[in-house]
Amino acid sequence: MGIYDRGYYRDEGGAGGRFRFGRVSALSVTTWIILINVAVFVVDAFMVRHGLPVFSGGHSLVEPLPPDDQLKTDKAYVDLDQFGRATPADPHRVGSVVFRLVRDEQTNQVVATEEYVVRPPLEALGFFSTWQGFHRVEVWRFVTYQFLHDHGNILHLAMNMFGLYMFGLMVEEQLGRKKYLAFYLVCGIFGGISYLLLNLLGRVFHVQLPGMLFTDVTTPLIGASASVFGVIMACARIAPDLPVQIIFVPITFRMKWLAYGWVGLAAFNLLFGKHNQGGDAAHIGGAIAGAYFIRHSHLLLDFFDVFGDSREKKGGRARKPRIKPPPEVLARRREHEQIDRILDKVSAQGIGSLTAKEKRILARDTEKRRRRAGED
């Protein structure tokens, strides 16, 4: 897709100017987000033989397996405790499946198995799932999953980064660097929350309604799509009538209709589709967050406040609390301001320009000054 040439998308500042469409500033937050996503993708792609096992479900056995001396170990039952040892099954390779054998404490018989899928190391540490984010309370995954993409699907990364490149700078210029980064992360967080709630309702509480996610609670969620959906919804608010053309299709849309169309497709697939419903659940959450926070961006001011309150600072120094002056002080201030305005009028237009009321006010003030002078 492309955006037609507009004033706020042109390079108007020369070498020191801000970004305009067609050139990415090396200092923009959008640029850094794109670089981090690409770097994570490349690192995980090069570590395909150094993956980490991630829990993907437990299975009870109808008949206990025999003790170790009678158990024929094959690649389907590589004990997780032996994961670090060399085996013919090469369990370190991404995509391998290994099992943890759960034993009876008294008989030492295997009574259940826990399945683990080997995933790229950064993905294993950062992806989001209902099991990891909710059951294990690994809340950092609400943020880290936004920077991960399927190591075998470069198109997933390319589409998200292209969408961010096309629309991110418009939102960044509108909000400023710090608020924009908070906006981007918040949209992704709400995408994770949307996925979590629908998965809990569908899988855990068995709510039989369209849109519920009945996938396993260990199913991973990765990708920047939720944040990008939020960015596109923000653009629909900032420049709703900006013409946008989809690549290879000679059709021009207004920005708002493009945004609403993408969200509508995601909602349709969530309610009636099967493929990538979990991803579309996150897309809807990110879009809702984007539409809300672009209208209430002041709520993003203290997103990064951990050890202090940025709302109490100005110019790097803490602001003193404002104390309202007593009524008599306020009255004197108003009186002095009124006298100053009258004197300015006399200076500019002469004494004859004053109204009768202004002359009385000036006379009272003159009398007060004479009395104070006499008392002194």
Q: What is the pLDDT of residues 97-112, one digit of tens each?
A: 777 777 778 887 777 8
Q: Cβ-count burial of 120 within 10 angstroms (0-12 exposed, 13-18 middle, 19+ buried)?
A: buried
Q: How far is CA 271 from CA 30, 93, 277, 321, 374, in A?
A: 32, 36, 8, 51, 87
Q: Do 176 and 39 share a domain, yes or no?
A: yes
The total of structural domains in the chain comes to 3
**CA end-to-end span of the chain, whole Å?**
80
Q: What is the mean pLDDT of residues 302-322?
A: 63
Q: Read off the pLDDT of each residue in 359-371 and give the average, rounded to a whole number.
A: 81
Which strands form 2-3's sheet, in the order they lie side by side? 2-3, 243-245, 252-254
Would 363 be classed as within a structural domain? yes
Best-predicted range by mean pLDDT among 52-66, 204-218, 281-295, 315-329?
281-295
The confidence band for 367, taking pLDDT boundaries of 50, 70 and 90, is confident
Whole-number pLDDT of residue 257: 94
Residue pair 34/186 in contact (Cβ under 8 Å)? The answer is no
Q: Is residue 312 a part of any domain in this protein?
A: no
Kindly tell me if the per-residue pLDDT of 23 is higher than 90: no
Is the pLDDT score of 6 beyond 80? no
The verdict on 136 and 281 lying in the same domain is: yes
The answer to whether residue 24 sits within a structural domain is: yes
Q: Would you state the pLDDT for residue 321?
A: 56
Per-residue confidence (pLDDT) for residue 73, from 0 to 100: 41
Looking at residue 27, its pLDDT comes to 78
pLDDT band, very low/low/confident/very high, at 16 (cuts 50, 70, 90) = very low
* 40 shares a domain with 16: yes
| Residue 161, pLDDT above cutoff 90 | yes
Better-scored residue on pLDDT, 132 or 376: 132
Residue 22 has pLDDT above 50, yes or no: no
Asked if the model's pLDDT at residue 15 lies above 50, the reply is: no
In a domain, 177, yes or no: yes
Greater confidence, 273 or 92?
273
What's the whole-number mean pLDDT along residues 348-357?
80
> pLDDT tier at 88 (50, 70, 90 boundaries)?
very low
10 band by pLDDT with thresholds 50, 70 and 90 = very low
* Residues ≥6 apart with Cβ < 8 Å to 126: 140, 141, 144, 145, 147, 148, 222
Averaged pLDDT, 140-160: 93
Confidence (pLDDT) at 9: 43
Q: Which of 275, 306, 337 is the last residue of a domain?
A: 306
Task: With H, G, I as helix, E, B as strand and everything else as coil, classify residue 243.
Answer: strand
CB 225 within 8 A of CB 263: no
Lowest mean pLDDT among 256-265, 304-313, 360-369: 304-313
More confident residue, 284 or 337: 284
What integer pLDDT is reported at residue 263 of this predicted model? 95
Residue 262: CATH number of its domain: 1.20.1540.10
Inside any domain, residue 218: yes
Which has the minimum average pLDDT: 86-90, 102-106, 189-193, 211-215?
86-90
The pLDDT of residue 139 is above 90: yes
Return the pLDDT at 3: 46
Kindly state whether residues 27 and 64 are assigned to the same domain: no
Query: Are residues 162 and 31 both part of a single domain?
Result: yes
pLDDT of residue 369: 77
pLDDT at 177 over 60: yes
Indicate whether 40 and 150 sit together in one domain. Answer: yes
Distance CA 127, CA 138 (A): 10
63: Cα within 13 Å, side-chain hemisphere: 2
Residues 145 and 82 in one domain: no
Q: Let me know whether 96 and 112 are in one domain.
A: yes
Q: Which of 66-70, 256-260, 305-309 has the highest mean pLDDT?
A: 256-260
Q: Report CA torsion sign: 124, 128, 130, 135.
A: positive
Average pLDDT on 26-33 reads: 88
Task: Please give the residue range of the domain that contains residue 336.
Answer: 327-375
Above pLDDT 70, what percent of the chain? 77
| pLDDT > 70? residue 129 | yes
Cβ atoms of 52 and 132 within 8 Å: the answer is no
319 found inside a domain: no
Between 3 and 26, the more confident residue is 26
